[in-house]
Amino acid sequence: MDGFLLERLAEFICGDNGSFAPEYRSGINLTRFFENAGLSQFKHDGTTRKRWVIDCLNVCSEQELQQVVLALASPKTYKGNFDQIQFALKCLNEILNPEGLNVELKGVKPVITQIEPRLSRPLNPNADAIILECPDFNALGMETEFSNLLISRWDENEKCIQGHAYLASIIMMGSLLEGVLSWALTKFPEKAYRAISCPKDLKTGKSKPISEWKLSQMIDVAHEIGWLGIDVKRFSHSLREFRNLVHPAQQLKEGASPDMDTCLISWQVVRASINDLAQNLIPLQQKSA
């Protein structure tokens, strides 16, 4: 592949262009992707993601590039999500067809075949939208009724993204973060109320009911009691700040215009928060069972 096509492949791997890539990958997920492709020698070093991926691809052999493409087309990469798999194949073939290559599935196995070089039909970004996997709310062990409510909200969030209503999507994801944290803190109030950062009533000095806590206070307490890592805490506050753009005056003051990239980052924050909470809450639930 020439440099231009390698650059397009790198953009696809990174997932920076939401209209033409099914999945956004952070630095750690880029490392994991290459490991899953059988190329464990590549470890993201913190440099610009796209530039780093291009450098990796440039030193790959022809066989290794094939491993990368097959991994990008594999249903395992997208956990069997049919829409993401089909979207990935469309994106890949737009890149590969001019090179005389085509990738397709034989059953569940991706196969690369040689074809006459051609221009594949360009993707219509208005027709094909990125599909963001629903966070695993059930991993928290919450009540079915509440998890179903959050999943329903996620479905609405997907519609916002597909309709390019990015601000509405970020506001929705902020509400999901708040809902998950509120549920977790209410589930184990004895830990929440012992935290130094637990909000107090200024008149009585007593702890405020968790139902009256602000999202910023929930984030701080969840971090203090060890439920959220420092990185997730900081990014959660960033999502909270963007969620506050629900106020038009605040958006006007900051001059903020969220886009698809902002939604992708927010999605990662929600998923990371759930991962941290699940890791710490499941043992507590098992003890109390």
Is 128 inside any structural domain? no
For position 60, what pLDDT does the model report? 95
Query: For the residues 199-212, what does the mean pLDDT come to?
Result: 94
Is 56 inside any structural domain? yes
Q: Are 259 and 170 in contact (CB under 8 A)?
A: no
Give the largest Cα separation in the chain, rounded: 78
Together in a domain, 12 and 105: yes
Tokens of 174: 């902020």
pTM, two decimals, is 0.57
Q: Report residue 279's pLDDT band, with 50, 70 and 90 as the boundaries.
A: confident
The whole-angstrom separation of Cα 33 and Cα 126 is: 28
Query: For the residues 44-72, what does the mean pLDDT come to?
Result: 94
Q: Report residue 120's pLDDT band, with 50, 70 and 90 as the boundaries.
A: low
Is 72 inside any structural domain? yes
Determine how many CB atoms are found less than 10 A away from the CB of residue 97: 18
Together in a domain, 143 and 283: yes
Q: What digits encode the pLDDT tens for the residues 216-253?
A: 999 999 999 999 999 999 999 999 999 998 999 988 88
For position 17, what pLDDT does the model report? 61
For position 170, what pLDDT does the model report? 94
Q: Report residue 289's pLDDT band, with 50, 70 and 90 as the boundaries.
A: low
Q: What digits encode the pLDDT tens for the residues 160-194?
A: 888 889 999 999 999 999 999 999 999 999 999 99
Q: Are 114 and 101 in contact (CB under 8 A)?
A: yes
Of 148, 197, 157, residue with least CA distance to 175 = 157
The whole-angstrom separation of Cα 106 and Cα 104 is: 7
Together in a domain, 109 and 150: no
The structure tokens 């439920």 sit at 227
For position 257, what pLDDT does the model report? 84
Q: Are 169 and 160 in contact (CB under 8 A)?
A: yes
Q: Are 61 and 38 in contact (CB under 8 A)?
A: no
Q: Report residue 130's pLDDT band, with 50, 70 and 90 as the boundaries.
A: low
Q: Are 44 and 52 in contact (CB under 8 A)?
A: yes
Q: Report residue 123's pLDDT band, with 50, 70 and 90 as the boundaries.
A: very low
pLDDT at 133 over 80: no
pLDDT at 124 over 60: no
For position 255, what pLDDT does the model report? 85
pLDDT at 140 over 70: yes
pLDDT at 129 over 70: no
Beta-carbon contacts of residue 254 (< 8 Å; ≥ 6 apart)? 245
Together in a domain, 152 and 270: yes
Together in a domain, 269 and 141: yes
Query: For the residues 189-215, what does the mean pLDDT come to?
Result: 95
Output 189 or 135, whichever has higher pLDDT: 189
The whole-angstrom separation of Cα 161 and Cα 129 is: 8
Together in a domain, 45 and 145: no
Question: Which own/partner contact pairs does 25-33 have at CB distance under 8 Å and 24+ positions apart?
Answer: 25/49, 26/268, 33/71, 33/77
Is 226 inside any structural domain? yes
Q: Are 89 and 105 in contact (CB under 8 A)?
A: yes
Together in a domain, 110 and 141: no
- Where in the sequence is the domain holding 242, given as residue range(s)? 137-288
Q: Are 173 and 267 in contact (CB under 8 A)?
A: yes
Together in a domain, 142 and 276: yes
Is 119 inside any structural domain? no
In eight-state DSSP terms, residue 196 is T
Is 276 inside any structural domain? yes
Is 131 inside any structural domain? no
Mean pLDDT comparison of 103-117, 129-143, 158-172, 200-214, highest-scoring range: 200-214
For position 214, what pLDDT does the model report? 96
pLDDT at 268 over 50: yes
Specify whether the backbone of 79 is left (phi greater than 0), alpha (psi in -120 to 50) or beta.
left
Burial of 229 (C-beta count, 10 Å sphere; 0-12/13-18/19+): middle
Q: Report residue 86's pLDDT band, with 50, 70 and 90 as the boundaries.
A: confident
User: SS3 of 111, please?
Assistant: strand
Instruction: Enumerate the H helices of the chain as residue ranges.
Output: 3-14, 27-36, 49-58, 62-73, 82-96, 144-162, 166-187, 189-194, 215-224, 230-243, 248-254, 260-288
